[in-house]
Amino acid sequence: MATVKYKKFKQDKRTHYDCLDGLPSCDVLSLAVSADGRVWAGTQKGAAYFDGERFVSTGLFDSPVQAAFADLSGNVWLASGSCVCTCDGENMQQLEGDVVAVSQDHAGRLRLITKKHLYRYENGEFVKWYWTENANVLDMCAFADGEIFVAAENSLKTALGKRLRWFNVTPETSKFPDSRIQAVAGDKFGLTWIGTDRGLVIYDAGNHYVTKDKVNALTSYNVKKILFGKSGKRYVGTDIGLVVYDGAKRHFYGAEYWLPDGEVTAIAEADGNSVWVATHKGISHIETVMMTLEEKAEFYQDYNEKYNVRDIGFVAQRVVTDYRDLSSGYVQITDNDGLRLGAYIMAMSYKYGATGDAETLRLARRSYHAMMRLFDITGVPGLMARCIRRKGDTAYCGNPNKKWYDAGEYEWLGDVSSDEVVGHFSGLSVYYDICADETEKQIICKTLCAVVDHILENNYRLRDANGNYTRWGNWNPDDINRNPDWSGEHGTNALEMLSFLKTAYRMSGNEKYNEEYVRLIKEEHYALNAMHCKEKDAHTCHIDDNLCFLISIPLFNYETDPDLRYVYLTGMREHWEYERVERNPFLNVVYAAMTGENADIDKAVTSLKEMPLVYMKMKVLNSLRNDMVWDYSPQEFGEPPQLAEPLPYDEKPVVRYTRNHFLADSTPSKFSLIEGASYLLPYWMGRYYGVIGE
């Protein structure tokens, strides 16, 4: 398969600002960016400007600053109540009625509207031009060659004629949709974007309108603000987030990751790669930078090493107590430390194989030693711990009733499941093939063979240190093939056991492992189980998807028989086709690497590009969006409705590949910074196997 090469792409990043950053109030009402690039914010308690690091109060007002506008001559106008002035405090005027908006047409003529009057700027001051006729004015735009439109709740008002008068466009007098008119912006050709409580309307200043009914890209959200950027972008602020139209693309930025709050109160563009968005809980600065996939990988690895590593090299998510300070909080001790560490070992091993970088080999080796500690601490040959912790450490995130065993300074968690075994076999086998020296290869061989011996000696089960079988460590043929309670694992666990045996045989050359491998295929149809390992589940459970593709890596690397490879490839194809809609970069890269097929690598790369730079679990409420397409079939499995297709990675909840990417919402009780392997493993595996290039 040919390598798909990618160049630099646009990567969004965001920074939030609130009262801790100098804003007089977190409730921000207006924004403007001056010609020199300075950002001005009007809040409920006065105005402030951004000095490059934080906001500094101007001292002009201590009252709500409801309007801010940067004109073409370089002035920034601020308005509080009926008072308007330039940001330097000069040219202050008291007008009639509270100021609603300031605008400028394409010929440079400055206009202002209050609740009582329309004003024009002449000879250094705003002068009355015409009465507003309607106190319910919400927005105004001056555009083209002197055209003016006003959003006035129940009508769109336009000023016409040599002897100025208002002309009202209403549903009763035109084909205009019946809705509350709240925002307006126009271009030099007279095309006007109108924001209503039922979405966007584009109007040609005649009697022709376009809505979502005709153009699906137009949002139907409750639109509060509209800004035409100098870059050509269209920014649409709604009550649940920001919608950005960039050419043919439309993108949604919601709360709480992208914006401090859902309702957008003001928008100001610095340039085409920088926009400031105000809400009732602060300001978000969203920047677009050019980045390569490899530069993004280095970013992920850097923050992973800074914030997601604990103790002797375990890698896990970090509970962040202040989402603006990634160093706050602590790295969790999870009951899947082996699985997560295995993914990081694989990522670093593939990176070392692709680059030969000595520092990467050091990190892979550090993680390898941490992984081996999970074996050493149990004292039981072939049994690993779920995790270890220093006594008294409260960072464990799992069930407090799980069994912990004493090991001196440390204690370890038992009841190991198939997840941990898969993590060890996939991680250690890749390290063995790419990074390990001869001594390490002998240790890995001995360790993994001991695991297989333990499973075989205990009737294809894992037995804990207390002598009891673990809950989920079961590959017994009687259960997998003939016990209805285990029917859901018949394919996944059969695939796992075949891979365990094949790995042990490949590393040791001991025929007993190959004989048992063949017996399971011939007498217990484990290969056929693996051929249809994915149970169609309406995309509700993704743990086994991840486990199947992880454990397929050593199986495909070590199995050379063409007849068996055909069976396993067919099973992988069936599984991948079912999950294809997910655009999961890990599944796509594994399928491409193991089969030589394209496997939607372009979509895998799109997903990698979309991943937020800070991969943190935060509240996401996409169900508030009225354009979601829902799938109700999960109800057959006792699960709630979910999306028919996953949203882009930068719009949906942040989850690992073991979790459901079809969910619209996430309401975590705490911020969690996910370890970097979600990006690093598919990227560096793709580079190593030559399916991704730069």
SS3 343: helix
pLDDT category at 248 given cuts 50, 70, 90 is confident
* Amino acid at site 349: S
Secondary structure (DSSP) of 488-500: GGHHHHHHHHHHH
> What pLDDT shows up at residue 162?
67
Q: What is each CA distance from 446 to 342, 442, 504, in whole angstroms?
A: 18, 6, 9
> What pLDDT shows up at residue 159?
82
Dihedral (C-alpha) 499, 505, 506, 507: value to the nearest 10 degrees?
110
* Strands 692-693 and 4-5, bridge-based pairing: parallel
Rounded Cα distance, 164 and 170, in Å: 19
> What pLDDT shows up at residue 540?
93
What H or E segment, with its residue span, contains residue 142?
strand 139-143
What H or E segment, with its residue span, contains residue 376?
helix 358-376
Instruction: State the number of CA atoms in the 13 A half-sphere of 274 facing the CB.
Output: 8
Rounded Cα distance, 33 and 21, in Å: 18
> What pLDDT shows up at residue 579?
96
Q: pLDDT of 514-540, one tens digit each?
A: 999 999 999 999 999 999 988 889 999
Q: What is each CA distance from 515 to 446, 519, 530, 642, in whole angstroms?
A: 19, 6, 18, 45
Q: Which of 494, 574, 584 is nearest to 534 (CA)?
A: 574
> What pLDDT shows up at residue 161?
64
Secondary structure (DSSP) of 604-659: HHHHHHHS-SS-EE--EEGGG-TTPPEE-GGGGGT---EESSPPPTTTSPP--TTS
What H or E segment, with its residue span, contains residue 591?
helix 585-595
Q: pLDDT of 554-610, one tens digit each?
A: 999 999 999 999 999 999 999 999 999 999 999 999 999 999 998 999 999 999 999
In degrees, to the nearest 5, what angle opens at C-alpha 70 toward C-alphas 69 and 72?
Answer: 135
Give CATH 1.50.10 domain extents, the chain: 293-693
Do residues 57 and 41 lie in contact, with contact meaning Cβ atoms separated by under 8 Å?
no
> What pLDDT shows up at residue 1?
59
Rounded Cα distance, 617 and 672, in Å: 5
Assess whether pLDDT exceeds 80 at residue 382.
Answer: yes
| Helix and strand numbers, DSSP H then E, in the chain | 14, 45
CATH code linked to domain 293-693: 1.50.10
Assess whether pLDDT exceeds 70 at residue 4.
Answer: no
Rounded Cα distance, 69 and 229, in Å: 13
Rounded Cα distance, 31 and 278, in Å: 7
Task: Please give the mean pLDDT across all residues of the chain.
Answer: 94
Rounded Cα distance, 422 and 435, in Å: 19
Least-confidence region, from 62-71, 164-173, 638-647? 164-173
Which CATH class name applies to 12-291? mainly beta
In degrees, to the nearest 5, what angle opens at C-alpha 613 toward C-alphas 279 and 397?
Answer: 90
Q: pLDDT of 260-305, one tens digit each?
A: 999 999 999 998 899 999 999 999 999 999 999 999 999 999 999 9
Give CATH 2.130.10.10 domain extents, the chain: 12-291
Q: Where does residue 343 fall: left (phi above 0), alpha (psi -120 to 50 degrees), or beta otherwise?
A: alpha
Share of the chain above pLDDT 70, in %: 99
Q: Which of 500, 508, 450, 513 is nearest to 474 (CA)?
A: 500
Do residues 260 and 276 lie in contact, with contact meaning Cβ atoms separated by under 8 Å?
no
Least-confidence region, from 50-64, 389-403, 616-630? 389-403
